[in-house]
Chains A and B, each alone.
Chain A
Amino acid sequence: MGKKIKAIILKFPGTNNDVETARALKIVGAEPDILPVSLLSKKIILNYSLLVLAGGFSYGDYVYAGKLAALELKKKLNDTIFEFAEKDRFILGICNGFQILLELNMLPEGFLAQNKNKHFICQWCKLKINQINNFFTKYFPDEIELPVAHFEGKFISKNNNAEKYVNNGSAFILYKEDINGSEKNIAGLCDKNKKIFGLMPHPERFIYKEEYHSPDIYKKKFGYGYYFFKALIDFLK
């Protein structure tokens, strides 16, 4: 056992998945802290090797999802946010966090628009792990299932690049079926160095098998979300 990976979860006004995300990180052996954004500084953040932008509705998503949180991060951290993932550090954005990372242009370019059915969607969905050049591959079967809960999850790429993202592996996770109108069913993206990850589904909501919608037929020891966090933390070690 090496040293524990230190993770920091930022809490904007309206971030609301911080507690369960911290719980998930703890279970896979990391040492998570939750930090209200009003206390955020460059100095604090550099003590951590994983930065997590958790789900929720930062600043109410009133402008559009993630916009104001992205501005706040730029204001408080300047280039530190962009340089954070340069050495042995990772950034993970889940749901609203994914929206923030796209706003910051830290992932292959695109944005998340309102779901095609114009409704909030809370359901579980089947997902495919993109096998191209992907470090999650050894932790998962090809197909997994996680819950989603979002209003703005329809991914639209810049310059119609969605197909390219799928082919070069940066779209590391895909919906098996079209649930919200995302181009090429993209559910999550990572940067070219594989250090910044953003995804719409919620791995932190599927840590234990009893959280599954049909617990009697789920056969793995832990939920798929557990293996997702495990993969990240193992890689950081």
Chain B
Amino acid sequence: MNYNKLVYLNQKRNLNLRKEDLILIYNYYKKLRRTPTNLEIEIIAQNWSEHCKHRIFNAEIKYKENKKEKIINSLFNTFIKKTTEKIITKKQDFVINPFIDNAGFIKINNKYSICAKVETHNHPSAIEPYGGAATGIGGVIRDILGAGCGAKPIGNINALCFGNIELKKVNEDIIHPRKIMRGVVAGIRDYGNKMGIPTVAGAIIFSNDYNFNPLVFCGSIGIIENKKINKEIKEGLKIIVAGNRTGRDGLKGAIFASKSLTTKSLSDDKKAVQIPNPILEKQLLEFILEAKKENLICYITDCGAGGLSSAICEMIYNFGAVIYLDKVHLLEENMLAWEIFLSETQERMVLAVNEKDINKLKKIARIYDVEISEIGYINDSQKIKIYFKNKLECDLDLDFLNSPVQKKLKCTISKKAKKREKNNNLLFENFNLKRILNKVLSNLNICSKRPIISEYDFEVQGNTLIKPVMSDEQDVPADGVVLRISDVEKYLAIGLSLLPEYGKIECEKMAKSSVDEVVRQLVVVGANPEKIALLDNFCCGNINREKELKKLILTVKGISEAAEIFNLPFISGKDSFYNYYVLKNGREKNIPLTLLITGLGIIEKKKEITTNYIKKSDSLICIVGFTNDELGGSIVNSVLKFQSDNVPDVDFELSKKIYESIYKCIRKNLILSAHDISEGGFIIALLEMLFSMRAGCEINLDNLPCKKNISNFSKLFSESNSRILLEIKKSKILKVKKIFINLPFAIIGKTTNKHKNIIIKDGEKILLNEEIRELKNIWEKRLKQLY
């Protein structure tokens, strides 16, 4: 074994292994006195890729903060896992198997649990938007099918970050953001709709930051019987591949995902994108659910990035297996051993079953027209042996395969930069509210997303109670969506938060704000604040740069702190690094650190499901929570382009009390509508409620709870956290006031049937008097024109 040959192999086969890895491999084979086969080296590279082993998240990081040096031994263990473990001990019987399976579970009742997973498919979507997004959804659905002994997907979610869709022209070899948007939406639509899984929740952001590297977060939520959660590998089980025929598509997707995009990606990396076939996956789903019902599945896992290699190595972890590659059902002839084992052909699952059950399994497979093949068996040799054409092509020790070198990273967190709070007084005191509102309502990040939402079948399965759009004209965007859990009287609320603009200024506050926003979204639709679980997904730029790593550390610390105070466990998460593009001139275009927090909450009773649109005239409009001068990273900031670095912060103790009180009001049936205040601030939240067009409204700002005197501009547009707008019947206001005693709460106005206007006053001064319909038209037509 020659070290230089290994270096050459690494380059030639595009393995993306680092020097430390190569030395480890060299030493391993030196001991064995032989050279690696092509199959072996590919298996090692796949297993050790960032995409599969999360080596950044598990790295040892030496980091300096305020001149003190600390060592973080794995960001994941320190901030995510430990926090969750602490919370689980406090909340027993709520979270099951976090971080072990494809997805963690939360218990709904004695019969069922819910699981969820969110992944990203950024690079594939950048070069092949339709296929990239469709296979992103297809892949995450298989994660759910592979959770426990096979969970049933009941809802899909997505969060999309697109570039500027109005870009005049693109200079680099990239696809125009508008074309990417259309392709991605169509991909998500076709896969979800055709599989009959409702696409229920989503978030979309448009920004120049994503011109070169769009982000496509795809998620799926599943339900499973509690007794089918635990799965087991044992000696003697047969290994089955089910579904699509393995071909050469999508080779090395895992490695493609673990490096940057370049000007050559569009032409060279296409082979790493797979071909979607939702009908085949639907048949696979039926097959799996039926096999689960008949108790035929001992273990199941999905075939995603890394193909069979990843699925089988993960499955056999410290057991062992013998595999015969000739038995895999193939699409193409003359495939090489490594091609078969590494192929990322979609719509495949790997199962481990008892030998006696194979005939029954075959029968079900025939009913749903799913191809299956038995390709080997499990033993306890702690080795993976693979035969192809009667030759032993792989003989690797699992111990070696499962222990890549721990990455060592360094990072210094310097003192915070000075605030760029310029004198914005002139703007804040002398503004034309109508003019600014026109701009904000027609901003792509605020305007109605209905043209995209109605492409998705969000009603299939017949359980979507709070839909992404609600009310008489079906266009008031919901805070959280709510799914009915069939056969039990429980409901699942789902919320998402994505605030990359905040992170561009302060990552830690972005992280806290996102957690707070998700909890708020869930609480306002009626979720029990004690029964909420989170998912965390990170997308970073070039993580080899210290400044990108620093953002990641701060973000992870932020969500960990927030989760700990709110007592919220993380049930699953995923990272995606290297979201950057290398320009022709060699410069790197990094995306801003983008954190997606997904929240799942349980609503205990049907009558507690709460909506956010104005119901009637002659009711009171109230606000809970303090409005502070927090315009940093806000929508109005990016629309008017003034300078403010005051990113919204969270007072968690106060926030917690507010949410508990809201829940109390909901349980006592005191609230007509509740809406979370987020992007766009107070005025946008109020307008969204009024877009039900059932009443006009009169508001006075002088009552708004603020800690100190702030401008009307900030009152209207600041995005301070923990605030909720409420519509309350006059007859119930005393009871509500009692619940909010000692908390920032105020009646700020009322709805009326005398006119259909929004009137905003500051004392006697009228700041706005406009027809709601007119404002709604602006908000509604913006995306329609571009989509």
B462/A213 in contact, CB under 8 A: no
B383 contacts the other chain (CB 8 A): no
Using known A-B contacts A16-B195, A16-B196, A17-B196, determine if residue A147 contacts B278 with beta carbons closer than 8 Å. no
B88 contacts the other chain (CB 8 A): no
A216 contacts the other chain (CB 8 A): yes
Using known A-B contacts A120-B189, A121-B454, A149-B457, determine if residue A211 contacts B279 with beta carbons closer than 8 Å. no
Interface string of B610-628 (1 = CB under 8 A from A): 0101010000000000000
Interface hit among B121-129, B169-177, B317-325, B363-371: B363-371
B465 contacts the other chain (CB 8 A): yes
A64 contacts the other chain (CB 8 A): no
How distant is the Cα of A55 from the Cα of B194 in the complex, in angstroms? 10
A207 contacts the other chain (CB 8 A): yes
Residues of A close to B472: CB separation below 8 A: 213-214, 217
Chain A interface residue count, CB cutoff 8 Å, equals 36
How distant is the Cα of A213 from the Cα of B464 in the complex, in angstroms? 10
B467 contacts the other chain (CB 8 A): yes
Q: How many A-B contacts at CB < 8 Å in the complex?
A: 100
B454/A122 in contact, CB under 8 A: yes
Interface secondary structure of A, over-half rule? mixed
| Shortest Cβ gap from B287 to chain A (Å) | 10
How distant is the Cα of A105 from the Cα of B484 in the complex, in angstroms? 38
8 Å CB contact of B467 from A56, A202, A213, A217: A213
Residues of A close to B366: CB separation below 8 A: 38
How distant is the Cα of A56 from the Cα of B194 in the complex, in angstroms? 7
B460 contacts the other chain (CB 8 A): yes
B234 contacts the other chain (CB 8 A): no
| Shortest Cβ gap from A149 to chain B (Å) | 4
Interface string of A2-37 (1 = CB under 8 A from B): 000000000101101101100110000000000010
Residues of A close to B467: CB separation below 8 A: 213
Interface string of A214-230 (1 = CB under 8 A from B): 11110000000000000
B282/A14 in contact, CB under 8 A: yes
| Shortest Cβ gap from B466 to chain A (Å) | 9
Using known A-B contacts A20-B462, A57-B194, A149-B460, determine if residue A213 contacts B471 with beta carbons closer than 8 Å. yes
Residue of A nearest to B609 (CB): A210
8 Å CB contact of A204 from B462, B470, B486: B462
A124/B193 in contact, CB under 8 A: no
| Shortest Cβ gap from B729 to chain A (Å) | 12
A116 contacts the other chain (CB 8 A): no
Residues of B close to A48: CB separation below 8 A: none
B109 contacts the other chain (CB 8 A): no
How distant is the Cα of A207 from the Cα of B484 in the complex, in angstroms? 13
Residue of B nearest to A11 (CB): B286
A14/B462 in contact, CB under 8 A: no
How distant is the Cα of A57 from the Cα of B197 in the complex, in angstroms? 12
Q: Which of A16, A119, A217 has the most CB of B within 10 A?
A: A16
A135 contacts the other chain (CB 8 A): no
Residue of A nearest to B467 (CB): A213
| Shortest Cβ gap from B753 to chain A (Å) | 15
B457/A13 in contact, CB under 8 A: no
How distant is the Cα of A216 from the Cα of B692 in the complex, in angstroms? 12
Residues of A close to B105: CB separation below 8 A: none
How distant is the Cα of A214 from the Cα of B476 in the complex, in angstroms? 11
B474 contacts the other chain (CB 8 A): yes
How distant is the Cα of A29 from the Cα of B721 in the complex, in angstroms? 49
B369/A38 in contact, CB under 8 A: yes
B412 contacts the other chain (CB 8 A): no
Q: Which residues of chain A in 197-216 are interfacial with respect to chain B, using CB atoms and an 8 Å cutoff?
A: 202, 204-205, 207, 210-211, 213-216
A59/B462 in contact, CB under 8 A: no
B458 contacts the other chain (CB 8 A): yes
How distant is the Cα of A55 from the Cα of B195 in the complex, in angstroms? 11
Q: Which of A17, A55, A204, A207 has the most CB of B within 10 A?
A: A17
| Shortest Cβ gap from B491 to chain A (Å) | 10
B455/A14 in contact, CB under 8 A: no
Residues of A close to B456: CB separation below 8 A: 120, 122
B459 contacts the other chain (CB 8 A): yes
Residues of A close to B484: CB separation below 8 A: 210
8 Å CB contact of A216 from B283, B368, B457, B611: B611
Q: Which residues of chain B in 250-266 are interfacial with respect to chain A, using CB atoms and an 8 Å cutoff?
A: none
Q: Which of A14, A56, A213 has the most CB of B within 10 A?
A: A213
Using known A-B contacts A38-B367, A39-B367, determine if residue A202 contacts B279 with beta carbons closer than 8 Å. no
Beyond A59-B279, A149-B460, A211-B465, 9 extra complex contacts between A and B, CB < 8 Å: A13-B282, A14-B194, A36-B368, A55-B460, A120-B456, A122-B458, A123-B474, A204-B462, A215-B465
- A-B pairs with beta carbons under 8 Å apart, 9 shown: A14-B194, A14-B279, A23-B462, A36-B367, A38-B369, A60-B194, A60-B279, A120-B457, A210-B465
CB-based closest 8 A-B pairs:
A16-B196, A20-B462, A60-B279, A149-B457, A14-B279, A57-B194, A205-B462, A120-B455
